[in-house]
Protein backbone atom coordinates (compact mmCIF):
# COMPACT_ATOMS: atom_id res chain seq x y z
CA UNK A 1 0.00 0.00 0.00
CA UNK A 2 3.02 2.31 0.04
CA UNK A 3 5.21 4.00 -2.53
CA UNK A 4 7.36 7.08 -2.87
CA UNK A 5 5.57 10.14 -4.29
CA UNK A 6 5.49 13.92 -4.30
CA UNK A 7 2.91 16.10 -2.54
CA UNK A 8 0.38 17.84 -4.80
CA UNK A 9 1.12 21.26 -3.37
CA UNK A 10 4.90 21.26 -3.66
CA UNK A 11 6.12 19.48 -0.49
CA UNK A 12 7.52 15.96 -1.03
CA UNK A 13 5.36 13.18 0.34
CA UNK A 14 6.93 10.64 2.69
CA UNK A 15 4.83 7.78 1.30
CA UNK A 16 1.42 7.68 -0.37
CA UNK A 17 -1.18 5.01 -1.09
CA UNK A 18 -1.57 3.79 -4.65
CA UNK A 19 -4.59 1.50 -4.41
CA UNK A 20 -7.46 1.74 -1.93
CA UNK A 21 -7.99 -1.42 0.10
CA UNK A 22 -11.42 -2.65 1.23
CA UNK A 23 -12.14 -1.26 4.67
CA UNK A 24 -9.05 0.96 4.57
CA UNK A 25 -9.04 4.51 5.92
CA UNK A 26 -7.30 7.75 5.05
CA UNK A 27 -6.74 9.88 8.14
CA UNK A 28 -6.67 13.56 7.17
CA UNK A 29 -4.98 15.87 9.68
CA UNK A 30 -4.96 19.65 8.99
CA UNK A 31 -2.06 21.23 10.85
CA UNK A 32 -0.96 24.74 11.71
CA UNK A 33 2.18 24.95 13.87
CA UNK A 34 1.68 21.58 15.58
CA UNK A 35 5.34 20.51 15.67
CA UNK A 36 5.10 19.54 19.34
CA UNK A 37 2.14 17.22 18.72
CA UNK A 38 2.58 15.34 15.44
CA UNK A 39 5.18 12.78 16.59
CA UNK A 40 2.98 11.72 19.49
CA UNK A 41 -0.08 11.69 17.21
CA UNK A 42 1.64 9.31 14.77
CA UNK A 43 2.78 7.13 17.66
CA UNK A 44 -0.78 6.79 18.97
CA UNK A 45 -2.16 6.12 15.49
CA UNK A 46 0.48 3.38 15.11
CA UNK A 47 -0.61 1.83 18.42
CA UNK A 48 -4.36 1.78 17.71
CA UNK A 49 -5.21 1.78 14.00
CA UNK A 50 -3.08 -0.49 11.72
CA UNK A 51 -3.80 -3.62 13.77
CA UNK A 52 -7.55 -3.16 13.13
CA UNK A 53 -7.67 -1.80 9.57
CA UNK A 54 -5.24 -0.63 6.88
CA UNK A 55 -4.62 3.11 6.95
CA UNK A 56 -2.71 6.02 5.50
CA UNK A 57 -2.24 9.49 7.00
CA UNK A 58 -2.39 12.71 4.99
CA UNK A 59 -1.19 15.88 6.71
CA UNK A 60 -2.30 19.09 5.01
CA UNK A 61 -0.02 21.65 6.55
CA UNK A 62 -0.32 25.45 6.69
CA UNK A 63 2.43 25.88 9.29
CA UNK A 64 4.99 28.64 9.59
CA UNK A 65 7.22 26.53 11.87
CA UNK A 66 9.07 23.24 11.34
CA UNK A 67 5.97 21.02 11.49
CA UNK A 68 6.56 19.47 8.00
CA UNK A 69 10.13 18.48 8.94
CA UNK A 70 8.96 16.95 12.22
CA UNK A 71 6.32 14.92 10.34
CA UNK A 72 8.93 13.65 7.87
CA UNK A 73 11.21 12.47 10.68
CA UNK A 74 8.42 10.86 12.71
CA UNK A 75 6.96 9.12 9.65
CA UNK A 76 10.09 7.02 9.10
CA UNK A 77 9.02 4.72 11.95
CA UNK A 78 5.37 4.40 10.88
CA UNK A 79 4.09 1.09 9.42
CA UNK A 80 1.66 2.96 7.14
CA UNK A 81 1.97 5.60 4.39
CA UNK A 82 2.29 9.21 5.51
CA UNK A 83 1.87 12.13 3.09
CA UNK A 84 2.67 15.79 3.75
CA UNK A 85 0.98 18.44 1.62
CA UNK A 86 2.31 21.87 2.58
CA UNK A 87 0.24 24.85 1.39
CA UNK A 88 2.02 28.16 0.90
CA UNK A 89 -1.35 29.89 0.54
CA UNK A 90 -3.82 28.42 3.09
CA UNK A 91 -7.02 29.15 1.16
CA UNK A 92 -10.16 28.41 3.18
CA UNK A 93 -8.27 27.99 6.47
CA UNK A 94 -8.33 24.61 8.18
CA UNK A 95 -11.55 23.73 6.36
CA UNK A 96 -9.82 24.29 3.04
CA UNK A 97 -6.97 22.06 4.22
CA UNK A 98 -9.47 19.27 4.94
CA UNK A 99 -10.90 19.58 1.42
CA UNK A 100 -7.39 19.22 -0.03
CA UNK A 101 -6.86 16.15 2.14
CA UNK A 102 -10.11 14.55 0.98
CA UNK A 103 -9.06 15.12 -2.64
CA UNK A 104 -5.75 13.39 -1.95
CA UNK A 105 -7.29 10.46 -0.06
CA UNK A 106 -6.57 7.01 -1.47
CA UNK A 107 -9.24 5.16 0.54
CA UNK A 108 -13.02 5.25 0.45
CA UNK A 109 -13.27 6.05 4.15
CA UNK A 110 -11.76 9.36 5.25
CA UNK A 111 -11.42 10.27 8.93
CA UNK A 112 -10.78 13.93 9.71
CA UNK A 113 -9.17 14.78 13.04
CA UNK A 114 -7.13 17.56 14.65
CA UNK A 115 -3.41 17.29 15.19
CA UNK A 116 -3.42 18.34 18.86
CA UNK A 117 -4.54 14.92 20.28
CA UNK A 118 -7.83 16.24 21.60
CA UNK A 119 -9.36 13.69 19.22
CA UNK A 120 -8.29 10.18 20.35
CA UNK A 121 -6.81 8.16 17.44
CA UNK A 122 -8.02 4.95 19.10
CA UNK A 123 -11.56 5.89 18.01
CA UNK A 124 -10.72 5.89 14.28
CA UNK A 125 -11.50 2.18 13.72
CA UNK A 126 -14.81 2.54 15.59
CA UNK A 127 -15.88 5.47 13.38
CA UNK A 128 -15.28 3.40 10.25
CA UNK A 129 -16.91 0.31 11.80
CA UNK A 130 -20.01 2.35 12.70
CA UNK A 131 -20.25 3.55 9.12
CA UNK A 132 -19.98 0.02 7.77
CA UNK A 133 -22.58 -1.33 10.23
CA UNK A 134 -25.22 1.36 9.66
CA UNK A 135 -24.43 1.86 6.71
CA UNK A 136 -23.86 5.62 6.91
CA UNK A 137 -22.08 8.05 4.63
CA UNK A 138 -21.08 10.27 7.57
CA UNK A 139 -20.14 9.24 11.11
CA UNK A 140 -19.69 12.02 13.66
CA UNK A 141 -17.65 11.68 16.84
CA UNK A 142 -19.94 13.55 19.23
CA UNK A 143 -19.27 15.11 22.61
CA UNK A 144 -22.99 15.58 23.19
CA UNK A 145 -24.42 12.11 22.70
CA UNK A 146 -24.67 9.58 25.54
CA UNK A 147 -21.19 8.50 26.58
CA UNK A 148 -19.51 11.60 25.15
CA UNK A 149 -17.93 14.49 27.05
CA UNK A 150 -16.44 17.92 26.35
CA UNK A 151 -14.01 17.52 29.27
CA UNK A 152 -11.04 18.82 27.26
CA UNK A 153 -12.58 22.25 26.63
CA UNK A 154 -10.47 24.58 28.75
CA UNK A 155 -12.43 27.05 30.87
CA UNK A 156 -16.02 28.19 31.16
CA UNK A 157 -15.64 30.67 28.29
CA UNK A 158 -14.82 27.99 25.68
CA UNK A 159 -17.61 25.77 27.01
CA UNK A 160 -20.11 28.64 26.69
CA UNK A 161 -18.91 29.49 23.17
CA UNK A 162 -19.16 25.85 22.11
CA UNK A 163 -22.68 25.47 23.49
CA UNK A 164 -23.81 28.76 21.90
CA UNK A 165 -22.33 27.83 18.51
CA UNK A 166 -23.98 24.39 18.64
CA UNK A 167 -27.36 25.89 19.54
CA UNK A 168 -27.07 28.55 16.83
CA UNK A 169 -26.16 26.14 14.04
CA UNK A 170 -28.85 23.63 14.95
CA UNK A 171 -31.41 26.46 15.09
CA UNK A 172 -30.42 27.75 11.66
CA UNK A 173 -30.32 24.32 10.00
CA UNK A 174 -32.83 22.10 11.85
CA UNK A 175 -33.43 19.76 8.91
CA UNK A 176 -29.90 19.53 7.57
CA UNK A 177 -28.47 18.87 11.05
CA UNK A 178 -31.18 16.50 12.19
CA UNK A 179 -29.50 13.54 13.87
CA UNK A 180 -26.20 15.41 14.42
CA UNK A 181 -25.85 16.36 18.07
CA UNK A 182 -22.39 17.92 17.66
CA UNK A 183 -22.22 19.90 14.40
CA UNK A 184 -19.14 21.72 15.73
CA UNK A 185 -17.14 18.49 15.96
CA UNK A 186 -13.90 18.38 14.00
CA UNK A 187 -13.67 14.60 14.35
CA UNK A 188 -15.67 12.53 11.86
CA UNK A 189 -15.55 9.87 9.16
CA UNK A 190 -17.00 10.30 5.69
CA UNK A 191 -17.23 8.06 2.66
CA UNK A 192 -15.00 9.57 -0.02
CA UNK A 193 -17.42 8.75 -2.82
CA UNK A 194 -20.21 10.66 -1.06
CA UNK A 195 -18.25 13.94 -1.09
CA UNK A 196 -18.10 16.33 -4.05
CA UNK A 197 -15.14 18.55 -3.07
CA UNK A 198 -15.90 21.06 -5.85
CA UNK A 199 -19.22 21.96 -4.18
CA UNK A 200 -17.59 22.82 -0.85
CA UNK A 201 -16.69 26.41 0.02
CA UNK A 202 -15.11 26.17 3.48
CA UNK A 203 -14.33 29.27 5.50
CA UNK A 204 -12.42 28.62 8.71
CA UNK A 205 -12.26 25.40 10.64
CA UNK A 206 -15.83 24.05 10.90
CA UNK A 207 -15.72 21.77 7.87
CA UNK A 208 -18.26 19.27 9.27
CA UNK A 209 -20.92 21.98 9.13
CA UNK A 210 -20.01 22.63 5.48
CA UNK A 211 -20.22 18.93 4.63
CA UNK A 212 -23.53 18.41 6.42
CA UNK A 213 -25.29 21.49 5.04
CA UNK A 214 -24.06 21.67 1.43
CA UNK A 215 -23.89 17.94 0.78
CA UNK A 216 -26.05 16.34 3.43
CA UNK A 217 -25.40 12.56 3.37
CA UNK A 218 -28.44 10.30 3.19
CA UNK A 219 -27.60 8.58 6.46
CA UNK A 220 -25.65 9.83 9.47
CA UNK A 221 -24.38 7.90 12.49
CA UNK A 222 -22.77 9.10 15.72
CA UNK A 223 -20.13 7.64 18.02
CA UNK A 224 -19.60 9.19 21.48
CA UNK A 225 -16.16 10.46 22.35
CA UNK A 226 -14.47 12.25 25.23
CA UNK A 227 -12.81 15.47 24.11
CA UNK A 228 -9.23 15.26 25.42
CA UNK A 229 -6.87 17.88 26.82
CA UNK A 230 -4.54 19.45 24.26
CA UNK A 231 -1.19 17.61 24.28
CA UNK A 232 0.97 20.69 23.61
CA UNK A 233 0.83 24.13 22.03
CA UNK A 234 -2.00 26.65 22.03
CA UNK A 235 -5.57 26.56 20.80
CA UNK A 236 -6.22 28.00 17.33
CA UNK A 237 -9.68 29.24 18.37
CA UNK A 238 -9.42 33.02 18.18
CA UNK A 239 -11.79 35.96 17.85
CA UNK A 240 -10.86 36.15 14.15
CA UNK A 241 -11.87 32.50 13.69
CA UNK A 242 -15.13 33.30 15.49
CA UNK A 243 -15.86 36.07 13.00
CA UNK A 244 -15.07 33.75 10.09
CA UNK A 245 -17.41 31.18 11.58
CA UNK A 246 -20.26 33.70 11.72
CA UNK A 247 -19.62 34.75 8.10
CA UNK A 248 -19.62 31.09 7.15
CA UNK A 249 -22.98 30.60 8.86
CA UNK A 250 -24.47 33.53 6.94
CA UNK A 251 -23.07 32.16 3.67
CA UNK A 252 -24.53 28.72 4.30
CA UNK A 253 -27.90 30.09 5.38
CA UNK A 254 -28.16 32.37 2.34
CA UNK A 255 -27.02 29.85 -0.26
CA UNK A 256 -30.49 29.70 -1.88
CA UNK A 257 -31.80 32.68 -3.93
CA UNK A 258 -34.87 33.08 -1.68
CA UNK A 259 -32.74 33.19 1.48
CA UNK A 260 -30.30 35.64 -0.13
CA UNK A 261 -33.21 37.91 -1.05
CA UNK A 262 -34.47 37.91 2.54
CA UNK A 263 -30.97 38.68 3.85
CA UNK A 264 -30.59 41.40 1.21
CA UNK A 265 -33.84 42.97 2.43
CA UNK A 266 -32.75 42.86 6.08
CA UNK A 267 -29.42 44.47 5.21
CA UNK A 268 -31.28 47.12 3.20
CA UNK A 269 -33.57 47.85 6.16
CA UNK A 270 -30.56 48.26 8.45
CA UNK A 271 -29.32 51.01 6.11
CA UNK A 272 -32.08 53.30 7.36
CA UNK A 273 -30.09 53.80 10.61
CA UNK A 274 -27.00 55.51 9.10
CA UNK A 275 -29.29 57.24 6.59
CA UNK A 276 -31.41 58.87 9.29
CA UNK A 277 -28.42 59.67 11.49
CA UNK A 278 -26.67 61.34 8.57
CA UNK A 279 -29.81 63.30 7.69
CA UNK A 280 -30.15 64.49 11.29
CA UNK A 281 -26.53 65.66 11.48
CA UNK A 282 -26.54 67.40 8.09
CA UNK A 283 -29.81 69.26 8.67
CA UNK A 284 -28.65 70.22 12.17
CA UNK A 285 -25.59 71.78 10.56
CA UNK A 286 -27.91 73.94 8.44
CA UNK A 287 -27.83 72.04 5.12
CA UNK A 288 -31.05 72.18 3.08
CA UNK A 289 -33.06 68.98 3.42
CA UNK A 290 -32.87 68.05 -0.30
CA UNK A 291 -29.05 67.86 -0.62
CA UNK A 292 -28.95 66.52 2.95
CA UNK A 293 -31.27 63.66 1.95
CA UNK A 294 -29.17 62.87 -1.12
CA UNK A 295 -25.94 62.83 0.91
CA UNK A 296 -27.49 60.85 3.78
CA UNK A 297 -28.77 58.27 1.33
CA UNK A 298 -25.18 57.64 0.23
CA UNK A 299 -24.31 56.77 3.83
CA UNK A 300 -27.03 54.14 3.79
CA UNK A 301 -25.78 52.85 0.45
CA UNK A 302 -22.21 52.59 1.78
CA UNK A 303 -23.44 50.78 4.90
CA UNK A 304 -25.45 48.32 2.82
CA UNK A 305 -22.53 47.72 0.46
CA UNK A 306 -20.17 46.89 3.33
CA UNK A 307 -22.61 44.39 4.84
CA UNK A 308 -23.45 42.81 1.49
CA UNK A 309 -19.72 42.48 0.77
CA UNK A 310 -18.83 40.95 4.13
CA UNK A 311 -21.87 38.78 4.77
CA UNK A 312 -23.87 38.01 1.66
CA UNK A 313 -21.48 37.81 -1.30
CA UNK A 314 -18.17 37.28 0.46
CA UNK A 315 -17.22 34.38 -1.82
CA UNK A 316 -18.06 36.23 -5.05
CA UNK A 317 -15.84 39.26 -4.72
CA UNK A 318 -12.97 38.01 -6.87
CA UNK A 319 -14.76 38.56 -10.18
CA UNK A 320 -14.47 42.37 -10.12
CA UNK A 321 -12.28 44.96 -8.41
CA UNK A 322 -13.75 46.54 -5.27
CA UNK A 323 -14.20 49.97 -6.87
CA UNK A 324 -16.06 48.37 -9.78
CA UNK A 325 -18.37 46.52 -7.37
CA UNK A 326 -18.89 49.64 -5.26
CA UNK A 327 -19.70 51.80 -8.28
CA UNK A 328 -22.19 49.32 -9.70
CA UNK A 329 -23.82 48.82 -6.30
CA UNK A 330 -24.19 52.58 -5.75
CA UNK A 331 -25.61 53.06 -9.25
CA UNK A 332 -28.26 50.39 -8.66
CA UNK A 333 -29.11 51.72 -5.20
CA UNK A 334 -29.64 55.27 -6.44
CA UNK A 335 -31.48 54.08 -9.54
CA UNK A 336 -33.94 52.52 -7.10
CA UNK A 337 -34.93 56.00 -5.90
CA UNK A 338 -35.17 57.41 -9.42
CA UNK A 339 -37.31 54.50 -10.66
CA UNK A 340 -39.68 54.42 -7.69
CA UNK A 341 -41.39 57.78 -8.30
CA UNK A 342 -42.36 57.08 -11.95
CA UNK A 343 -43.60 53.65 -10.91
CA UNK A 344 -45.83 55.14 -8.21
CA UNK A 345 -47.21 57.65 -10.71
CA UNK A 346 -47.88 54.85 -13.21
CA UNK A 347 -49.71 52.74 -10.63
CA UNK A 348 -51.81 55.68 -9.40
CA UNK A 349 -52.74 57.39 -12.66
CA UNK A 350 -52.85 54.45 -15.08
CA UNK A 351 -53.94 51.57 -12.86
CA UNK A 352 -56.10 53.57 -10.46
CA UNK A 353 -54.33 52.35 -7.32
CA UNK A 354 -54.33 54.29 -4.05
CA UNK A 355 -51.20 56.15 -3.04
CA UNK A 356 -50.26 53.79 -0.18
CA UNK A 357 -50.84 50.59 -2.13
CA UNK A 358 -49.01 52.02 -5.17
CA UNK A 359 -46.06 52.96 -2.97
CA UNK A 360 -45.97 49.49 -1.40
CA UNK A 361 -46.05 47.75 -4.79
CA UNK A 362 -43.37 50.10 -6.13
CA UNK A 363 -41.16 49.40 -3.12
CA UNK A 364 -41.47 45.64 -3.63
CA UNK A 365 -40.89 45.95 -7.39
CA UNK A 366 -37.77 48.10 -7.09
CA UNK A 367 -36.45 45.92 -4.27
CA UNK A 368 -36.69 42.77 -6.39
CA UNK A 369 -35.13 44.54 -9.37
CA UNK A 370 -32.30 45.85 -7.18
CA UNK A 371 -31.62 42.41 -5.72
CA UNK A 372 -31.59 40.75 -9.15
CA UNK A 373 -29.46 43.57 -10.55
CA UNK A 374 -26.99 43.40 -7.67
CA UNK A 375 -26.54 39.66 -8.03
CA UNK A 376 -26.32 39.72 -11.83
CA UNK A 377 -24.39 42.94 -12.45
CA UNK A 378 -22.17 43.19 -9.38
CA UNK A 379 -21.40 39.70 -8.09
CA UNK A 380 -21.77 37.24 -10.93
CA UNK A 381 -18.61 36.56 -12.98
CA UNK A 382 -18.26 38.12 -16.40
CA UNK A 383 -18.79 35.81 -19.34
CA UNK A 384 -15.56 35.24 -21.19
CA UNK A 385 -15.21 36.15 -24.85
CA UNK A 386 -14.84 32.48 -25.68
CA UNK A 387 -18.10 31.64 -23.94
CA UNK A 388 -19.91 34.45 -25.75
CA UNK A 389 -18.58 33.38 -29.12
CA UNK A 390 -19.61 29.75 -28.63
CA UNK A 391 -23.02 30.53 -27.13
Evaluate the CA torsion angle 231, 233, 234, 240 in order and state its sign: negative
218 and 349 together in one domain: no
Confirm whether 73 is domain-assigned: yes
122 and 223 together in one domain: yes
Q: Are 375 and 338 a contacting pair, CB within 8 Å?
A: no
70 and 178 together in one domain: yes
Q: How far apart are CA 192 and CA 21, in angstroms?
A: 13
Of 188, 48, 24, nearest to 109 (Cα)?
24
Q: How many structural domains compose the chain?
A: 2
pLDDT tens digits for range 1-53: 433 333 444 443 444 334 344 468 999 999 888 888 899 999 999 999 998 99
81 and 200 together in one domain: yes
The pLDDT score that the predictor gives to residue 187 is 92
- Higher-pLDDT residue of 223, 171: 223
Lowest mean pLDDT among 28-32, 245-249, 324-328, 374-378: 245-249
- Answer yes or no: is pLDDT of 91 > 70: yes
The pLDDT score that the predictor gives to residue 235 is 55
Confirm whether 142 is domain-assigned: yes
The pLDDT score that the predictor gives to residue 17 is 38
pLDDT tens digits for range 205-217: 678 887 888 777 7
Which ranges of 112-154 would DSSP assign to H, the alpha helix? Answer: 124-133
Confirm whether 184 is domain-assigned: yes
Q: Residue 193, Cβ neighbours under 10 Å: how many?
A: 9
248 and 270 together in one domain: no
67 and 88 together in one domain: yes
**Torsional class of 149: left (φ above 0), alpha (ψ -120 to 50), beta (otherwise):** beta
234 and 279 together in one domain: no
> For 165-192, what is the mean pLDDT?
83
Q: What distances in angstroms separate CA 86 from CA 13, 61, 89, 195, 232, one per listed residue?
A: 9, 5, 9, 22, 21
248 and 278 together in one domain: no
Phi, psi values for residue 19, rounded to 5°: -125, 130
* Residue 239 banded pLDDT, cuts 50, 70, 90: low
Q: How far apart are CA 43 and CA 133, in angstroms?
A: 28
233 and 289 together in one domain: no
119 and 220 together in one domain: yes
203 and 282 together in one domain: no
The pLDDT score that the predictor gives to residue 148 is 80
pLDDT tens digits for range 150-165: 765 555 666 677 777 7
142 and 272 together in one domain: no
Confirm whether 15 is domain-assigned: no
Lowest mean pLDDT among 172-176, 198-202, 370-374: 198-202
The pLDDT score that the predictor gives to residue 259 is 74
CATH of the domain at 56: 3.90.550.10
Q: 298 lies in which domain range? A: 257-381
* Residue 222 banded pLDDT, cuts 50, 70, 90: very high
Is pTM, for the whole model, over 0.85? no
Amino acid sequence: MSSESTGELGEPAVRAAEVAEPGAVTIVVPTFNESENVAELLRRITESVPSRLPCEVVFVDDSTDDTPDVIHRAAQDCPFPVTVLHREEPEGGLGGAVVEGIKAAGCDWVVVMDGDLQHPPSLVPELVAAGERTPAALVVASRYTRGGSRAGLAGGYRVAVSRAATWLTKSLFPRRLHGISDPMSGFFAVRRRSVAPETLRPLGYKILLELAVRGRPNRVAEVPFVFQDRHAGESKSTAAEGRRFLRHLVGLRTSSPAARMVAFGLIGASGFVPNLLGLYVLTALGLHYVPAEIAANQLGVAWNFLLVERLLFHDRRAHRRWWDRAGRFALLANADLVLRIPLIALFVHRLGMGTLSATAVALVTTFVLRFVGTEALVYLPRRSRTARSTA
